[in-house]
Homo-oligomer: A and B are copies of this chain.
């Protein structure tokens, strides 16, 4: 959910703090302060403000899918038939609600949605395709790409 309240102008201090937190948010505020030439409380205040403004959306641990069952990462391009606002909203909701769907984007181009799905078996994926796609009369077409290697993974944003 993006905060639309403010432009949330960030100064150079904020940007530097963010770039540290995107790599490792367990970095002590004191260490961050030394890196950006600010006291620890000042760093803390800025982090708190950016969290309240929604600049920092979440703080999460990144888990290796392979360690938790033999997980399979799959990309799915989905094309829908009707692109009315209501249909799009409904499709979004269905995709978001599926726990197997890790990331979902509404896109321009030859597809309408791109989904990143994580399952523990192809049988599970097949079941998911039935539930999300075949049983959905508004889905015209979908294409599957199975990831053989997660070459680079990150949610970081250039700051």
Contacts and interface: CB of A to CB of B under 8 A. Distances in A.
A65 B55 CA distance: 8
Interface residues on A, range: 35 or more
A12 interface: no
A26 to B, nearest CB: 5
Q: How many copies does the complex hold?
A: 2
A119 to B, nearest CB: 8
Contacts of A158: 68-69, 71, 99-100, 118, 120
Given A56-B64, A109-B145, A110-B143, 20 more contacts: A2-B64, A3-B64, A10-B67, A21-B61, A25-B60, A53-B67, A55-B68, A57-B64, A58-B62, A59-B59, A59-B62, A60-B62, A62-B155, A103-B150, A104-B151, A106-B148, A107-B145, A107-B146, A108-B145, A153-B155
Contacts of A10: 67-68
Contacts of A111: 145
A152 interface: yes
Contacts of A104: 151-152
